[in-house]
Amino acid sequence: MRAAVIQFPGSNCDRDMAVAIRNITGTETTLVWHGAGELPDGLDLIAIPGGFSYGDYLRSGAMAARSPVMHAVIKAAERGVPVLGVCNGFQILTEAGLLPGALMRNAGIRFVCRTVGLTVENNRSVFTSGYSAGEQVRIPVAHHDGNYFADTETLDRLEGEGRVAFRYAENVNGSARNIAGLLNAAGNVLGMMPHPERMIEAVHGGSDGRRLFEGLVRQIA
Amino acid sequence: MKTRIFVTLKNGVLDPQGKAIHHAIEGLGFSGVHDVRAGRLIEIDHEPGVSKADLESMCTKLLANMVIENFEIEQA
């Protein structure tokens, strides 16, 4: 398995993501700077990490979504390469048009930083096969703009197509239909606000995030 | 040449920031304010040759997120 983690100016979960992938899947992970026009050959996973790319200027993820490397990420996603966007990565994926909808300022205005309960809605994707459908897991969130918005028609369609991967057990940020994680139509792109890479060993207070990566490596290998 | 671009949230999209500003206005003792919506003003200084179509394209490709926002272009 070959994995790359994309780094933007202001990314701050890039190393955590690389360590999680390396420790759990046993593969060396390449860090790719946002200015790169191409990605390494033969990637099995592209991760877009959390942080505050470009200082959240204009809108969270807006500038990063238009950076050179994203053209290559979009092409890879279209070829079926799994793309995981966490937190700012989810915002970047919606801004880049790889996922529908938008992530707005939390309904309560406040930055939310705590471990939350999530329900696994769809365990049939490459990212969620390590979980059981309907299972509750605990994974931390840390965001200011995690309030998922899409129009009612889009939300109905996404639910009908089973594209909601994770839902908040309690609504922490105003997200429509409690959506915490969303898949693209082909199922190879997942955006999620919670940070699985921050819940991979006992010292983190749990390891529910670990199973996302374990499931992924079983699906890809 | 200067163009002003106003980016505003679409009707029906919840604006927590506007709500907080509204609350703060009331906290200062002002009454009679029904609602507050916050947006963004972007000023672009450009050659006269930059067309309205180019400016619209800048808005749809970057300056506004068409899922949640509208834009208005005001040319001086």
pLDDT value at A151 more than 90 = yes
pLDDT value at A175 more than 90 = yes
pLDDT value at A142 more than 90 = yes
Rounded to an integer, the average pLDDT of A107-116 is: 95
B17 interface with A at CB cutoff 8 Å: yes
Q: What's the pLDDT tens digit per position in B1-30?
A: 999 999 999 998 989 889 999 999 999 999
pLDDT value at A71 more than 80 = yes
Question: Which chain B residues touch A70 with a CB distance below 8 Å?
Answer: none
pLDDT at B14 (0 to 100):
87
Q: What's the pLDDT tens digit per position in A197-213?
A: 999 999 999 999 999 99
A55 interface with B at CB cutoff 8 Å: no
Q: Judging by beta carbons within 10 Å of its beta carbon (0-12, 13-18, 19+), is residue B21 exposed, middle or buried?
A: middle
pLDDT value at A221 more than 90 = no
> Residue A37 CB: number of other CB atoms within 10 A?
8
CATH (residue range A3-220): 3.40.50.880
pLDDT value at A28 more than 90 = no
Q: Judging by beta carbons within 10 Å of its beta carbon (0-12, 13-18, 19+), is residue A169 exposed, middle or buried?
A: middle
What does pLDDT average to over chain A? 96
Distances (CA, A) of A131 to A86, A167, A183: 18, 13, 15
Buried b (16+ CB within 10 A) or exposed e, A124-146: ebbbbbbbeeeeebbbbbbbbbb
Distances (CA, A) of A79 to A44, A67, A220, B18: 11, 20, 15, 41
Rounded to an integer, the average pLDDT of A11-22 is: 97
pLDDT at A213 (0 to 100):
96
Distance from CA of A167 to the nearest CA of B (A): 20
B57 interface with A at CB cutoff 8 Å: no
Contact assignment for A105 to B16 by CB distance below 8 Å: yes
Q: What's the pLDDT tens digit per position in B16-72?
A: 889 999 999 999 999 999 999 999 999 999 999 999 999 999 999 999 999 999 999
User: Mutating which of A149, A155, A172 best tests the B interface, going by the most B Cβ atoms within 10 A?
Assistant: A149
Report the DSSP beta bridge partners of residue A85.
A48, A191
Question: Which chain B residues touch A107 with a CB distance below 8 Å?
Answer: 14, 16
- Return the amino acid letter for A56: D
Domain boundaries, chain B: 2-75
Could you confirm whether A197 is annotated as catalytic?
A: yes
Could you confirm whether A143 is annotated as catalytic?
A: no
The superfamily CATH assigns to domain B2-75 is Phosphoribosylformylglycinamidine synthase subunit PurS (3.30.1280.10)
Task: Find the CB nearest B62 among A62, A94, A106.
Answer: A62
Rounded to an integer, the average pLDDT of A89-108 is: 97
C-alpha A80/C-alpha A185 separation (Å) is 11
pLDDT at A174 (0 to 100):
96
pLDDT value at A92 more than 80 = yes
Domain boundaries, chain A: 3-220
DSSP string of B24-63, one letter each residue: HHHHTT----------EEEEEE--TTS-HHHHHHHIIIII
Tokens of B22: 């509204």
Helix residue ranges per DSSP H, chain A: 14-25, 62-65, 68-79, 88-95, 152-160, 210-220
Contact assignment for B67 to A107 by CB distance below 8 Å: no
pLDDT at A27 (0 to 100):
86
In percent, the amount of chain A with pLDDT more than 70 equals 100
User: Mutating which of B7, B63, B68 best tests the A interface, going by the most A Cβ atoms within 10 A?
Assistant: B68
pLDDT at A4 (0 to 100):
97
Pairing of strands A45-48, A83-86: parallel
B68 interface with A at CB cutoff 8 Å: yes
Residue pair A160/A105 in contact (Cβ under 8 Å)? The answer is: no
A144 interface with B at CB cutoff 8 Å: no
Give the distance from CA A134 to its chain's centroid: 19
B13 interface with A at CB cutoff 8 Å: yes
pLDDT at B76 (0 to 100):
76
Contact assignment for A102 to B61 by CB distance below 8 Å: no
